[in-house]
């Protein structure tokens, strides 16, 4: 097994636990090189405006910084490259020389980079230039390194970067793509490294002992490496508190593709948003089965439509708590133990809610852009949606019988805005009709 400390020789510096998606400008030189589509040195000119044809969009006029290329290391085929600001709108200083790690934007001559975010002033790039100049044209293979650590996920609290973490040793990490697969093992300190990896995009899969799970099992852990480059990542894992069961419909048959909620019982809602920290949702599979993983120890409500009000799209179900009651006081708690499965939660929804229709039209005396704003008041926190509407056009939408809603219209025009009086109603199986007129600058959702 290659030594974890060999990354110091490969990259010219000691290993630090950077994530796979570190902020541009904070990566090791070999990592920035691996994640870039174009690497070059050049002199900046004043920003210019240029029409750019992006895929699936009409031509767009953009403000870009021309860079006259002096030295090209990777992915440069034109004498002038153009920088599209990355993240925030920062432009290079005219006359200043930069080393640019450009991310793909619009080939062949537009890349995403800006000062401090992929573009370094040449006087601050000595270490990077030493690495780039030392790259052998015939060198093959790169390095993938990282650390596996056990993180704490406190019950009812947001995860923080500085939450306690314990490095895990002797964990096998599989590194693979369609063409290659290798395995390495974490050493003391939780570190692992694989050298001479053929260039490409790789997934990383730790072989964890029973009772542990990766922090987000729904997402891939992925890195990119090229010849002479490196990629680093931190793999966080959790004690695997699990909840498994089956959800059934009113007829007793398993419900597929239906959202199930797990909500902490002993966490108060936020006084401003109504959100309950630690709530999570999963979807049932074809057999109505669901599984929550990585849950902190504690007591939970299990059920359907606990967090979000019944959805007007598709089948709508009342707020239902395990073991199948709509009365919160009659709900049975689900107790999660550290690293242990809680299984056998088989419960049914008593009924499917009927639908109604909301019909609305907007009248406005002022010119401007109109938006229809909509919220379900039965949600535990406000989830507004909005879309653009036209004057005098009749619109229709589905609503769920017995659920309360609030709607209004927002009018935006140069120099100000107007909004209609909010309309609050309880839906029925029939039709609710309303005309909305923006007539005052109220402070509602926009």
Question: What number is the average pLDDT over the span 336-350?
Answer: 89
Question: What number is the average pLDDT over the span 394-414?
Answer: 94
The 10 Å CB-count burial string (b at 16+, else e) for 88-123 is eeebbeeeebbbbbbbebbeebbbbbbbbbbbbebe
> What's the pLDDT band for 29 if we cut at 50, 70, 90?
confident
Answer whether 409's CB lies under 8 Å from 442's CB: no
Question: What number is the average pLDDT over the span 233-245?
Answer: 93
The 10 Å CB-count burial string (b at 16+, else e) for 294-322 is bbbebebbbbbbbbbbbebeeebbbbbbb
CA-wise closest residue to 10 among 188, 203, 231, 234? 231
> What's the pLDDT band for 9 if we cut at 50, 70, 90?
very low
What would the DSSP string read from start to end of 81-147?
A: EEEEP-SS---PPTT-EEEEEEEEEETTTEEE-EETBEEEEGGG-HHHHHHHHH--TT---EEEEEE
Rounding to the nearest 10 degrees, give the CA dihedral for residues 435, 438, 444, 446.
90
Answer whether 316's CB lies under 8 Å from 295's CB: no
Facing residues of 334 across strands? 300
Answer whether 256's CB lies under 8 Å from 287's CB: yes
- 319 contact partners, CB below 8 Å, separation of at least 6: 303, 304, 305, 306, 309, 310, 326, 378
Domains of the chain are 36-134 (2.40.50.120), 142-239 (2.60.40.10), 244-348 (2.60.40), 355-436 (2.60.40.10)
The predicted structure's pLDDT at residue 138: 60
The predicted structure's pLDDT at residue 387: 93
Question: What number is the average pLDDT over the span 175-181?
Answer: 94
Rounded to the nearest integer, the mean pLDDT of the chain is: 88
CA-wise closest residue to 77 among 35, 107, 104, 57? 107
Answer whether 261's CB lies under 8 Å from 174's CB: no
Count other C-beta atoms under 10 Å from residue 1's C-beta. Answer: 10
Question: What number is the average pLDDT over the span 34-46?
Answer: 93
Give the phi and the psi of residue 27 in degrees, each rounded to 5: -75, 160
- 106 contact partners, CB below 8 Å, separation of at least 6: 52, 54, 84
Question: What number is the average pLDDT over the span 41-60?
Answer: 89
Answer whether 338's CB lies under 8 Å from 238's CB: no
Using CB atoms within 10 A of its CB, is residue 86 exposed (0-12), middle (13-18) or buried (19+)?
buried
- Between 100 and 444, the higher pLDDT residue: 100
Answer whether 197's CB lies under 8 Å from 152's CB: no
Whole-model pTM: value is 0.70
Bond from prior residue into 323 cis (ω within 30 degrees of 0) = yes
Question: What number is the average pLDDT over the span 381-405?
Answer: 92
Say if residue 8's pLDDT is above 50.
no
The predicted structure's pLDDT at residue 5: 33
| % of residues, the chain, pLDDT over 70 | 93
The predicted structure's pLDDT at residue 123: 94
Helix, strand, coil percent content, the chain, rounded in steps of 5:
5, 45, 50
- The mean-pLDDT minimum among 214-223, 270-279, 413-422 falls in 270-279
Give the phi and the psi of residue 324 in degrees, each rounded to 5: 130, 35
> What's the pLDDT band for 345 if we cut at 50, 70, 90?
very high
- Give Dmax over CA atoms of the chain in angstroms: 75
Question: What number is the average pLDDT over the span 407-428?
Answer: 93
Answer whether 215's CB lies under 8 Å from 204's CB: no
The 10 Å CB-count burial string (b at 16+, else e) for 351-387 is eebebbbbebbbebeeeeebbbbbbbebbbeeeeebe
The predicted structure's pLDDT at residue 48: 95
């Amino acid at each position: 097994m290659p030594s974890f400390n060999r990354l110091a020789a490969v990259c010219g510096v000691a290993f630090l636990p950077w994530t796979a998606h570190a902020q541009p400008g904070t990566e090791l030189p070999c990592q920035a090189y691996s994640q870039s589509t174009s690497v070059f040195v050049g002199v900046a000119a004043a920003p210019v405006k240029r029409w750019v044809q992006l895929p699936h969009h009409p031509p767009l006029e953009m403000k870009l910084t021309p860079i006259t290329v002096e030295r090209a290391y990777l992915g440069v085929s034109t004498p002038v490259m153009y920088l599209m600001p990355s993240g925030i709108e920062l432009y290079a200083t005219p006359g200043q020389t930069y080393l640019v790690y450009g991310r793909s934007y619009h080939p062949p001559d537009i890349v995403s980079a800006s000062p401090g975010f992929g573009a370094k002033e040449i006087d601050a790039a000595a270490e990077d230039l030493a690495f780039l100049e030392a790259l052998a044209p015939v060198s093959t293979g790169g390095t993938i390194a990282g650390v596996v650590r056990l993180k704490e996920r406190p019950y009812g609290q947001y995860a923080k970067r500085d939450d306690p973490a314990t490095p895990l040793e002797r964990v096998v990490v599989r590194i693979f793509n369609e063409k290659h697969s290798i395995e390495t093992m974490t050493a003391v300190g939780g570190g692992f490294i694989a050298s001479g990896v053929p260039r490409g995009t790789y997934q990383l899969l730790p072989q964890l002992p029973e009772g542990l799970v990766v922090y987000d099992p729904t997402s891939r852990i992925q890195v990119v490496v090229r010849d002479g480059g490196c990629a680093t990542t931190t793999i966080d894992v959790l004690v695997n508190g699990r909840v498994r069961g089956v959800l059934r419909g009113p007829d007793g048959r398993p419900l597929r593709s239906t959202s199930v909620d797990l909500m902490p019982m002993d966490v108060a809602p936020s006084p401003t948003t109504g959100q309950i920290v630690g709530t999570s949702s999963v979807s049932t599979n074809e057999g109505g089965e669901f599984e929550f993983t990585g849950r902190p120890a504690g007591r939970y409500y299990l059920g359907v439509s606990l967090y979000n009000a019944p959805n007007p799209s598709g089948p709508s179900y009342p707020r239902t708590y395990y073991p199948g009651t709509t009365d919160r006081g009659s709900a049975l708690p689900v107790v999660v133990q550290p690293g242990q499965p809680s299984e056998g939660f088989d419960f049914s929804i008593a009924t499917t809610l009927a639908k109604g229709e909301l019909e609305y039209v907007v009248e406005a005396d002022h010119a401007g852009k109109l938006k229809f704003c909509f919220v379900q008041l039965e949600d535990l926190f406000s989830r507004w949606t909005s879309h653009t509407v036209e004057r005098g056009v009749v619109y229709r939408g589905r609503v769920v019988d017995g659920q309360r809603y609030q709607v209004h219209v927002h009018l935006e025009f140069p120099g100000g805005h107007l909004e209609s009086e909010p309309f609050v109603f309880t839906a029925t199986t029939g039709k609710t009709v309303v005309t909305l007129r923006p007539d005052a600058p109220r402070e509602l959702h926009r």
